[in-house]
Amino acid sequence: MKRHAFWMTSACALATAVPAFAADIDYKAYGDYAQYGSAPDVPGACSYEAIDAKDYSGKTLRVITHAVPVIGEPTDLHAKQFQALTGAQVDVVHIPFGDLYQRLMIPFQTRQAAYDVMFYPSLWIGDVQNYLQPVPAAYQEVPGMKEVTQNYRDVATWGDQMIQYPVDGDRHYLKYRSDIFDNPEYQQRFKAETGQDLRVPRTWEEYNAVAKFFTGWDWGKDGRGQFGSAEVTKRDDLMFSAFISRAAAYTKNPNVKGGYFFKLDTMEPQINNPGFVKALEMFIDAQKAFPPGGTNFGLGDEIFSFGGGQSLMSYSWDDAFIQAQEASSPIRNKVAAAPLPGSTQVWNRDTNVWDTFETPNAPPYITWGWTSAVSKASQNQDMAFDFLCFFSNEANTQLDLQIGRFGVNPYRTTHFDPTFWQEKLGWEANTAKTYVDTLSGMDQSNNRVFDLRVPGVNQFMSTLANGVAEAMAGQRSPQEALDGVAAQWKEIVDRIGPDRVREAYANVVALEDRGR
């Protein structure tokens, strides 16, 4: 028999002919979540009230997700809630990141209906798209879905169909210590030693110069040495995304259409053109400003280096910023956000010359994040879409956004209101404003970089990471390293099939070339 919900102010409220629903939702019954407060249940098809009216007693929903905590913990939490509301049995399987791709793909390729719901990195869409059930029109019309920003609707779309269910928004942007940049003593010292005014970097050349200046001395005045930049540099831990963040400024020319990683018409790799080579040279130069061990930082190291006050600047996903803004952080409200640095010189692959821009070219990198989908082979598609609808409802998302380890980041228009961050989390006005302005500003760009999103994307990114790592370690020159990557990319394209890769890549190019 279906169990009624734990969250109701009054259990009898649902028994009335016209429910007067006024309960706030919290997670405290499921763990140490009381510190995050509560959120109102917003009426609609995905609400607690609406899902409680469903009866899935006797049915089992099978879910595959990442290991706890990132996306795995909210999957567990919302599965328990959905089970309590609907009477369904929800079985959740947690898989470490390194094994998740194979555990997802093998059942698809062997025609097994192993899972109803999947949580996975959005850049795998090129490999999984044939196995996914498009999101039904009714779910695309719910208020929460209609508030998903254009970038994340694009991430969820293949061709003209939404086939991934948005539950997260991810991007790379610059994070910096605003208190240090605003310090008059440091402004004077920087001016005296460099002849330049200290400002938030607008180009990667400025970024490297500022980072090196603030390396190896106690500008934090906490009795330890501080450093200029924390970056993801570990070959097998998302370093390829850090490199793409740096490369976008030099290679994503707003005057050139038809492909960023490849020329779409020929599928000729562009990864070794002068723009990418320049970005790799700057990445190597930045090592002079890294903390000890910084040449092998994984994402967690970058998060704790910036979030813990060791490094002046960083760029990657939201996690380091949220870490810095936790209530116990010594640098809380001493940080700010800004767009990724750009470049005034941008390679034009059509003319084979560098174009000069008075305003630095700074394309946003809409990097991969977590997404979800329903298997085309599922026998429980209605229940599966109800679960994703519930997972991402307004109350759950408002609470999930506050828990840094959950891996759920802003992706709806309402998430870009600075008052939310001020009133709910106690952020100071300037910190909240720089954060939401930076994130929401990416949606306004008409010169964006998306991940590759084609069959074999893991092979392409693995070879890229290997090549960049070789150059970073001084084993090969930047040009030699990227020439090697380009040669391997050609082999991968030939192995998978040029037409198949081109057909998939056309979807990426359409997103990047689409105007706003």
Alpha carbon distance 124, 344 (integer Å): 33
Contact (Cβ atoms closer than 8 angstroms) between residue 47 and residue 395: yes
Q: Is the pLDDT at 88 greater than 80, yes or no?
A: yes
Alpha carbon distance 169, 440 (integer Å): 11
3-state secondary structure 242-257: HHHHHHHHHHCCCCCC
DSSP string, 375-396: BTT-S-HHHHHHHHHHHTSHHH
- Enumerate residues 6+ apart whose C-beta is below 8 A from 474: none
Q: 173-367+447-514 belongs to which homologous superfamily?
A: Periplasmic binding protein-like II (3.40.190.10)
- Classify the phi-psi angles of 4: left when phi > 0, otherwise alpha if psi is within -120 to 50, otherwise beta: beta
What is the chain's mean pLDDT, rounded? Answer: 92
Q: What is the average pLDDT across 481-502? A: 98
Is pTM beyond 0.75? Reply is: yes
Exposure class string for 331-364: b at 16+ Cβ within 10 A, else e: bbbbbbbbbbbbbbbbbbbeeeebbebeebbbbb
Does the domain made of 34-167+370-408 have the CATH classification 3.40.190.10? Answer: yes
**Residue extents of the structural domains in the chain:** 34-167+370-408, 173-367+447-514
Residue 424: pLDDT band by 50, 70, 90 thresholds? confident
Residue 13: what pLDDT? 30
Handedness of CA 397, 81, 99, 303 (dihedral sign): positive
Q: Is the pLDDT at 15 greater than 90, yes or no?
A: no
CB atoms within 10 A of CB 241: 23
Q: In sequence order, what are the beta bridge partners of 263?
A: 268
Q: What is the average pLDDT across 281-290? A: 98
Flag the least confident range among 187-191, 407-411, 465-469. Answer: 407-411
Tokens of 63: 């879910």
Alpha carbon distance 304, 286 (integer Å): 19
DSSP 3-state percent helix, strand, coil across the chain (nearest 5): 45, 15, 35
Nearest to 245 by CA among 322, 175, 324: 175
Q: Is the pLDDT at 197 greater than 50, yes or no?
A: yes
Alpha carbon distance 324, 304 (integer Å): 9
Q: Which residue has the tokens 């689409």?
A: 514
Which residue has better confidence, 446 or 140? Answer: 140
Span between the terminal Cα atoms of the chain, in Å: 51
Q: How far is CA 205 from CA 217, 249, 345, in A?
A: 21, 11, 11
173-367+447-514 and 34-167+370-408 share a CATH fold:
yes
